């Protein structure tokens, strides 16, 4: 469908282009006859009969298009497009762009799809994917012979150094290559020779050779060439590494290097590794330990996507992904597809292809063999998600476009059609290869069998069979959820039917873990729960290795979504608790996966990441954490260092700062590499950010550790040190200036010495230090730093701007700064540099500028500031106007409008009106500003009210709904001010106008109008309201039916206000009508609406007496919906509270006799709420309701008793101190037996009731009840009673002392409390 749509669009485009061309030609010809036709989408031109003469005479003298004068404006391209549209009608770019976009391959639903994490991440975040999950490390704490595959600290550090040096050599080589000193020489023959010796097939030889030297075919590609070059260069060095086992060399990849290519083994490790290993390890990309089966394909896949355009790479991949027997078949059979994906799926659906001949690899190994096989069985060769997506899409299109069957045709055509015999000379295509070429379906999903035309029972369910119906995504265990296409590579083993008994223990465990994970990842919530529980329970049984080997690759998957990541992280969290110190060898693996969460843009991901790392630190211990993370501290990759620093900060917060101090000291003083110092200081910074004021006890030590960084020779280290000090100062504010004594001087020297980024950091540090100082120092330092700040006002650097603004704010906030100083020295350049449209464009700049300006205004007074910016309220840029408005609003809100003189006041109102009328964006800044400023002007606004009201009235009549809505909202804001100005008449007029607009169609606008009416009603009172209430209310009744939440909320509020204060203006009949409408509102989703409706019941009942309202409500108890009944009971309770219980109780107690469980429950619940609301008034009614309650407490139905117990609890608390013990004991006797119930709801209510009894009967009485059961032989009896007894102890331990029973001494123990026997 979309394909044909596309074709259509393309055709349209073609036509349009042709039309444009034609139009242009015609224009050139000055063909008068057709000149007035303008093609759609083409630029229009002027009527020649109007302008013709002018054009003819002096064409040069006139412009035929008028510029908007904004071309020169630097801000133009960042202006909102709305404005552009208004000035530029001749070129509907939008349409052209739309069509252009539609002609490309775009997914129209791209916006609605949930984005995977990988998709929304920035380039920087993507670097996480380049890290590899490092192999296990040795656990130094376990007394065992180290597994030689496990690397210890020493090996890791050696690797680290090796990579550092390699990086250095590579850089040097690159430099030299650039300088032209170096010439690459290659020896392809030699390599070929090696190949000939090992493997035979000629076709693969070519492929192999091409892939072994990735750069061969692409000499102009600088990057590739560079990679291969470095590999060559590294070879001699690598000889040393050949001696170490292959795995640990491969493991060197744990440290990613900057270049993508160098992370592939070809470039980095000696070739021997890749080719000499068994194919199974090779499939795993050669860089992994064997256990890491499935993760590399994913990464390999993503790499593949990136480098699709390099032929050598994709070839290499295809070669390795194919099982040899298939290669020729596939290449021949499906000419339309790239090799990699075809073979992987063809064989995998034996059940669906009718003929077995199509599946060359059909004899899939099953069972143990399959489980043990690292080479994926044919149908599990992973596709990248993208490939899968494309493939599925194609498949779906093909499925939809496949020929119609006879039955379908039958059903489509009216009767009377018949099937013609084919002509005698027709020869169908019989050669399968030609057939394949000819069919529109490249894969022949259904029709691949040649003449066979399959029945299509499920034509409309095409997409529901997994991947285009080709692969069965339902695991063999039917209880498991189906796989998503992207899960194939992780969970494919579950698709095979395996005999459980033939599996070894490890395999069985692996399968179990896989099942649990699949349940957690794709299952329904109950499945997820059970999966999570099982995997947690058995964590120690499975062991850390198998668990993490499966979980971590999942987390690195490029197609991961937020929800899935959350679940996987949760799994890790749970099993960490269980595994405890078993986790040690896997710490680094886990960190590689979890660290990226620390810099995720999603807040909750960051929190989760922190939690995991902190638990990890607690499980593994400080020593392991340090030895694991130490090598990453001076990693060459900034990304790794950044995340490591953050992780270290989390470790510090988990294990305590003091534990980490010695380590930090060593790192920050590292002589060897500046990266280590940088990271060390960054750790301190992150600690400050993470832990806030918890750094205070260690502030001195931390500052001492980092302070040398201020004089470091590396600029980056100096910068981070300053930032670190800023963070420490921010965290410890307002304390701890003493700790910073030693850094003040270097900081001060620094701001004079540095420029650019370094200076920005130093300024930031000083900005945060100044608030810590006392006034004297602060004033001195502020004067010093101000000079530099003013100089930097002009800096074009965005970051610098923000920091300067922040520091200015901090300086101005200190006590010691003179207003005159700011006024004379700072303000002129401040306004010149910052108050421009450009600042309003960036949200962070905007915020910072508003804050700083408001802060300065606190110092120099509001007039000074407002006068400077008030004219900008009429600026042409809306965003800028908003910024001005927000600033003025904040200033006025803080300082009031008393200082504002008449002239400024006029300017202000003028600007307000302009800004308000010109607004196009929908937010509350303008409204808030208008409201705040008007109300702080108070009576002084009187002069402007007519003008404002005129504007509002005019705009209430506007065609645009948004304008009307804003006008109504503004009325609501300024109603109190109008009242203050005694503009009652005007308000009355407004009321009438609004009343007339109640027929408004747009619910948003109607809601605002109702809100405005409510505001007017509230300020002028019900009696003076125009239109009179008796007219207004009947008009509101039908509006209550409106389903829009905003309308409902405003309407119910207004009705409630009238019922509360003006009920006498409306007849009882009308109120009853409203009662019925209100019942509907109890269904509302929004709680505030339900609450307002319930309260309104109370008001109405008060106005017209409870009887009718009550009858309505009691009737409503019969409905089915629970929410309605609950709300009704609350309403009954409120009615009885407002009208005194005696007016209501008889009716509801009578209602209890209705033999309907819902009604009886409702009545009881109403009683319960009523006793809760009326409190001690209950003393007058307790004896009346006791029989009813007792009846209810003897009811069979558990829920019924539960509500009754709840009612008793509220009743008991209400009557405390009124001498109703007799009734209460009676009730307690009926409540007490409920302790044996199973329902936790009932038990909870029962505990609550006993608490109530403790309060009003006294604890000893309740304890006497408890004593019967505390030592009961049955645990089921003892347990609930201990709960109550414990509550007694918590609540009234002292009071119980006199009540404990006397327990006789035993021969060994003295149990009698003899002090109690003392008599004087």
For residue 922, what are the CA distances in angstroms to 273, 678, 726, 947? 63, 46, 38, 23
Distance in Å, CB of 1285 to another protein, minimum: 7
DSSP 389-425: HHHHHHHHHHHHHSPPPHHHHHHHSPTT--PPPPPTT
Distance in Å, CB of 1306 to another protein, minimum: 8
In this complex, which beta carbon is closest to another protein, that of residue 413 or of residue 1318?
Answer: 1318
Q: What is the C-alpha separation between 640 and 595, in angstroms, rounded?
A: 9
Q: What is the C-alpha separation between 1141 and 1106, in angstroms, rounded?
A: 10
Distance in Å, CB of 1081 to another protein, minimum: 19
In this complex, which beta carbon is closest to another protein, that of residue 1176 or of residue 1279?
Answer: 1279
Question: Which helix (H) or strand (E) segment is 476 a member of?
Answer: none
In this complex, which beta carbon is closest to another protein, that of residue 494 or of residue 1243?
Answer: 1243
Distance in Å, CB of 1243 to another protein, minimum: 7
In this complex, which beta carbon is closest to another protein, that of residue 591 or of residue 1127?
Answer: 1127
Distance in Å, CB of 484 to another protein, minimum: 28
In this complex, which beta carbon is closest to another protein, that of residue 659 or of residue 1126?
Answer: 1126
Distance in Å, CB of 1240 to another protein, minimum: 5
DSSP 429-461: ---HHHHHHHSS-SS-TTTTTSS-----TTGGG
Distance in Å, CB of 1278 to another protein, minimum: 4
Distance in Å, CB of 1310 to another protein, minimum: 6
In this complex, which beta carbon is closest to another protein, that of residue 762 or of residue 1246?
Answer: 1246
Distance in Å, CB of 1084 to another protein, minimum: 16
For residue 971, what are the CA distances in angstroms to 991, 1056, 1213? 10, 20, 47
CA angle 1097, 1101, 1102 (to 5 degrees): 120
In this complex, which beta carbon is closest to another protein, that of residue 2 or of residue 1244?
Answer: 1244
- Could you say which DSSP state residue 346 is in? G
Name the residue with tokens 């000419």.
Answer: 335
In this complex, which beta carbon is closest to another protein, that of residue 1149 or of residue 1260?
Answer: 1260
In this complex, which beta carbon is closest to another protein, that of residue 89 or of residue 1314?
Answer: 1314
692 touches 731 (CB < 8 A): yes
Among residues 1256, 1212, 1201, the alpha carbon closest in space to that of 1234 is found at: 1201
Roughly how many angstroms between the first and final C-alpha of the chain, as a whole number?
103
Among residues 893, 988, 969, the alpha carbon closest in space to that of 927 is found at: 969
In this complex, which beta carbon is closest to another protein, that of residue 411 or of residue 1309?
Answer: 1309
Distance in Å, CB of 520 to another protein, minimum: 18
Q: What is the C-alpha separation between 13 and 10, in angstroms, rounded?
A: 5
809 touches 851 (CB < 8 A): yes
Distance in Å, CB of 669 to another protein, minimum: 45
Distance in Å, CB of 608 to another protein, minimum: 21
In this complex, which beta carbon is closest to another protein, that of residue 1222 or of residue 1279?
Answer: 1279
In this complex, which beta carbon is closest to another protein, that of residue 36 or of residue 1310?
Answer: 1310
With both helix axes pointing from N to C terminus, report the angle between 505-522 and 562-579 in degrees, rounded to the nearest 10.
140
Where does 47-103 have alpha helices with state H? Answer: 48-57, 81-87, 93-103
Burial group, residue 385, by CB count within 10 angstroms (0-12, 13-18, 19+):
buried
In this complex, which beta carbon is closest to another protein, that of residue 75 or of residue 1237?
Answer: 1237
- Could you say which DSSP state residue 495 is in? G
Q: What is the C-alpha separation between 142 and 136, in angstroms, rounded?
A: 14
936 touches 897 (CB < 8 A): yes
In this complex, which beta carbon is closest to another protein, that of residue 777 or of residue 1282?
Answer: 1282
3-state secondary structure of 289: coil
1066 touches 1033 (CB < 8 A): yes
Question: Which helix (H) or strand (E) segment is 237 a member of?
Answer: helix 222-242
Burial group, residue 508, by CB count within 10 angstroms (0-12, 13-18, 19+):
middle
Distance in Å, CB of 1267 to another protein, minimum: 11
Distance in Å, CB of 1293 to another protein, minimum: 6
Which residues here bind another protein, judged by CB under 8 A? 1126, 1240-1241, 1243-1244, 1247, 1270-1271, 1275, 1278-1279, 1282-1283, 1285-1287, 1289-1290, 1293-1294, 1296-1297, 1300, 1303, 1306, 1308-1311, 1313, 1315-1316, 1318-1320
3-state secondary structure of 467: strand
In this complex, which beta carbon is closest to another protein, that of residue 604 or of residue 1300?
Answer: 1300
In this complex, which beta carbon is closest to another protein, that of residue 1226 or of residue 1283?
Answer: 1283
Name the residue with tokens 């000055």.
Answer: 30
534 touches 519 (CB < 8 A): no
Distance in Å, CB of 460 to another protein, minimum: 38
Distance in Å, CB of 1311 to another protein, minimum: 5
* 151 DSSP β-pair partners: 137
DSSP 1175-1239: GGGGGGTHHHHHHHHHHHHT-S-HHHHHHHHHHHHHHHHHTTTSS-HHHHHHHHHHHGGGGG---
Spell out a b/e string for 871-905, using b for 16 or more CB atoms within 10 Å of the CB, else e: ebbebebbbbbbbbbbbbbbbbbebebeebeeebb
Distance in Å, CB of 757 to another protein, minimum: 51
In this complex, which beta carbon is closest to another protein, that of residue 639 or of residue 1285?
Answer: 1285
Where does 277-415 have alpha helices with state H? Answer: 279-283, 295-306, 311-321, 326-333, 341-345, 368-372, 385-401, 406-412
Torsional sign, CA 399, 405, 409, 410: negative
């Amino acid at each position: 469908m979309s394909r044909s749509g596309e074709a259509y669009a393309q055709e349209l485009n073609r036509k349009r282009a042709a039309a444009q061309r034609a139009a242009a030609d015609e224009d050139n010809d000055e063909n008068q006859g057709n000149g007035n036709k303008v093609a759609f989408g083409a630029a229009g031109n002027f009527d020649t009969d109007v302008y013709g003469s002018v054009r003819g005479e002096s064409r040069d003298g006139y412009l035929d298009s008028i510029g908007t004068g904004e071309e020169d404006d630097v801000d133009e391209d960042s202006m909102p497009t709305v404005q552009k549209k208004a000035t530029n009608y001749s070129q509907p770019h939008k349409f052209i762009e739309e069509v252009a976009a539609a002609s490309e391959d775009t997914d129209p639903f791209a916006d609605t799809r949930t984005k995977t994490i990988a998709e929304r991440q920035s380039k920087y975040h993507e670097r996480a994917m380049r890290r590899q999950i490092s192999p296990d490390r040795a656990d130094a704490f376990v007394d065992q012979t180290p597994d030689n595959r496990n690397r210890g600290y020493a090996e890791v550090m050696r690797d680290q150094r090796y990579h550092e040096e390699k990086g250095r050599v590579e850089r040097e080589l690159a430099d030299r290559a650039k300088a032209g000193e170096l010439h690459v020489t290659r020896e392809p023959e030699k390599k070929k020779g090696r190949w000939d010796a090992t493997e035979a097939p000629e076709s693969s030889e070519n492929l192999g050779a091409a892939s072994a030297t990735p750069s061969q075919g692409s000499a102009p590609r600088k990057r590739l060439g560079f990679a291969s070059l470095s590999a060559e260069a590294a070879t001699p060095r690598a000889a040393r590494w050949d001696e170490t086992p292959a795995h640990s060399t491969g493991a060197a990849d744990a440290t990613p290097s900057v270049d993508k290519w160098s992370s592939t083994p070809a470039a980095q490790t000696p070739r021997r590794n890749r080719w000499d290993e068994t194919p199974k390890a090779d499939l795993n990309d050669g860089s992994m330990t064997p256990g890491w089966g499935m993760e590399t394909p994913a990464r390999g896949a993503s790499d593949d996507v990136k480098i699709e355009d390099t032929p050598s790479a994709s070839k290499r991949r295809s070669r390795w992904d194919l099982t040899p027997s298939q290669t020729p078949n596939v290449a021949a059979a499906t000419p339309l597809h790239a090799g990699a994906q075809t073979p992987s799926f063809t064989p995998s659906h034996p059940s669906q292809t009718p003929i077995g001949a199509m599946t060359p690899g059909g004899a899939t190994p099953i069972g143990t063999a399959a489980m043990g096989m690292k080479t994926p069985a044919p149908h599990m060769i992973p596709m990248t998600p993208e490939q899968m997506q494309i493939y599925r899409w194609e498949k779906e299109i093909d499925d939809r476009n496949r020929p119609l069957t006879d039955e379908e045709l039958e059903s489509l055509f009216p009767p009377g059609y018949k099937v013609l015999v084919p002509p005698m000379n027709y020869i169908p295509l019989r050669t399968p290869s030609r057939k394949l070429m000819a069919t529109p379906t490249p894969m022949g999903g259904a029709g691949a069998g040649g003449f066979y035309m399959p029945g299509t029972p499920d034509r409309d369910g095409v997409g529901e069979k997994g991947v285009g119906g080709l692969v069965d995504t339902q695991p063999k265990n039917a209880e498991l959820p189906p796989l998503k296409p992207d899960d194939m590579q992780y969970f494919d083993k579950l698709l095979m039917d395996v005999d459980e008994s033939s599996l070894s223990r490890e395999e069985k465990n692996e399968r179990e873990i896989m099942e649990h994970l699949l349940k957690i990842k794709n299952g329904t919530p109950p499945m997820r729960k059970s999966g999570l529980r099982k995997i947690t329970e058995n964590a120690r049984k499975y062991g850390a290795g198998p668990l993490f080997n499966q979980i971590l690759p999942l987390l690195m998957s490029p197609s991961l979504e937020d929800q899935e990541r959350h679940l996987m992280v949760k799994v890790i969290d749970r099993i960490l608790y269980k595994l405890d110190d078993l986790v040690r060898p896997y710490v680094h693996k886990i960190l590689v996966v979890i660290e990226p969460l620390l810099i995720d843009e999603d807040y909750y991901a960051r929190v989760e990441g922190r939690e995991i790392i902190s638990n990890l630190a607690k499980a593994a211990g400080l020593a392991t954490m340090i030895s694991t993370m130490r090598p990453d501290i001076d990693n060459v990759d900034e990304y790794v260092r950044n995340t490591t620093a953050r992780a270290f900060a989390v470790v510090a917060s988990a294990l305590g700062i003091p534990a980490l101090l010695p380590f930090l000291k060593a790192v920050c003083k590292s002589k060897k590499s500046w990266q280590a110092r940088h990271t060390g200081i960054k750790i301190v910074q992150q600690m400050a950010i993470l832990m806030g004021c918890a750094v205070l006890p260690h502030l001195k030590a931390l500052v001492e550790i980092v302070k040398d960084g201020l004089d470091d020779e590396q600029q980056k280290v100096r910068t981070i040190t300053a930032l670190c000090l800023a963070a420490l100062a921010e965290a410890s504010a307002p304390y701890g200036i003493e700790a910073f004594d030693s850094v003040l001087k270097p900081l001060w020297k620094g701001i004079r010495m540095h420029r650019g980024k370094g200076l920005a950091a130093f300024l930031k540090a000083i900005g945060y230090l100044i608030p810590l100082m006392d006034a004297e120092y602060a004033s001195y330092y502020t004067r010093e730093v101000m000079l530099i700040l003013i100089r930097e006002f002009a800096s074009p650097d965005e970051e610098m701007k923000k920091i300067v603004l922040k520091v200015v704010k901090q300086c101005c906030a200190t006590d010691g700064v003179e207003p005159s100083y700011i006024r004379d020295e700072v303000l002129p350049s401040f306004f010149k540099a910052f108050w421009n449209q450009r600042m309003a464009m960036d949200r962070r700049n905007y915020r910072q500028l508003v804050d700083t300006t408001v802060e300065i205004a606190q110092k120099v007074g509001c007039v000074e500031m407002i006068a400077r910016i008030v004219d900008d309220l009429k600026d042409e840029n809306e965003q800028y106007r908003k910024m001005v408005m927000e600033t003025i609003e904040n200033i006025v809100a803080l300082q009031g409008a008393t200082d504002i003189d008449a002239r400024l006041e006029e300017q202000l109102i003028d600007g307000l009106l302009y800004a308000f009328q010109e607004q196009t964006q929908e937010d509350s800044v303008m409204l808030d500003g208008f409201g705040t400023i008007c109300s702080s002007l108070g009576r002084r606004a009187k002069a402007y009210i007519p003008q404002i009201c005129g504007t509002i009235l005019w705009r209430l009549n506007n065609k645009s709904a948004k304008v009307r809505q804003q006008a109504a909202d503004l009325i609501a804001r300024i109603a109190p001010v109008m009242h203050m100005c005694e503009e009652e008449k005007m308000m009355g007029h407004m009321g009438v106008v609004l009343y007339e607009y109640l027929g408004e169609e747009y619910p948003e606008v109607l809601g605002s109008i109702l809100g405005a009416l409510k505001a007017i009603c509230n300020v002028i009172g019900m009696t003076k309201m125009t239109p009179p209430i008796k007219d207004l209310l009947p008009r509101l009744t039908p509006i209550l039916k409106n389903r829009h939440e905003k309308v409902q909320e405003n309407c119910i509020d207004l009705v409630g206000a009238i019922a509360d204060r003006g009920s006498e203006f409306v007849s009882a009949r009308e109120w009853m009508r409203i009662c019925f409408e209100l019942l509907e509102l109890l269904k509302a989703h929004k709680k505030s609406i339900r609450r307002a409706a319930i309260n309104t019941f109370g008001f109405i009942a008060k106005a017209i007496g409870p009887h009718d309202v009550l009858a309505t409500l009691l009737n409503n108890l019969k409905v089915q919906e629970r929410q309605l009944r609950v709300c009704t009971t609350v309403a009954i309770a409120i009615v009885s509270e407002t009208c005194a219980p005696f007016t209501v109780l008889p009716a509801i107690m009578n209602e209890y006799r209705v033999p309907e469980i819902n009604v009886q429950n409702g009545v009881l619940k109403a009683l319960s709420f009523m006793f809760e609301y009326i409190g001690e008034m209950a003393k007058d009614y307790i004896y009346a309701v006791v029989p009813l309650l007792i009846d209810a407490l003897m009811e069979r139905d558990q829920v019924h008793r539960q509500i009754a117990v709840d009612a008793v609890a509220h009743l008991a608390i209400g009557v405390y101190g009124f001498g109703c013990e007799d009734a209460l004991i009676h009730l307690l006797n009926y409540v007490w037996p409920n302790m044996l119930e199973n329902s936790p709801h009932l038990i909870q209510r029962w505990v609550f009731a006993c608490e109530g009894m403790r309060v009003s009967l006294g604890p000893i009485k309740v304890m006497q009840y408890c004593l019967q059961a505390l030592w009961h032989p049955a645990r089921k009896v003892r347990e609930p009673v201990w709960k109550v007894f414990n509550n007694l102890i918590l609540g009234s331990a002292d009071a119980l002392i006199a009540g404990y029973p006397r327990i006789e001494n035993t021969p060994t123990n003295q149990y009698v409390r003899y002090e109690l026997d003392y008599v004087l």
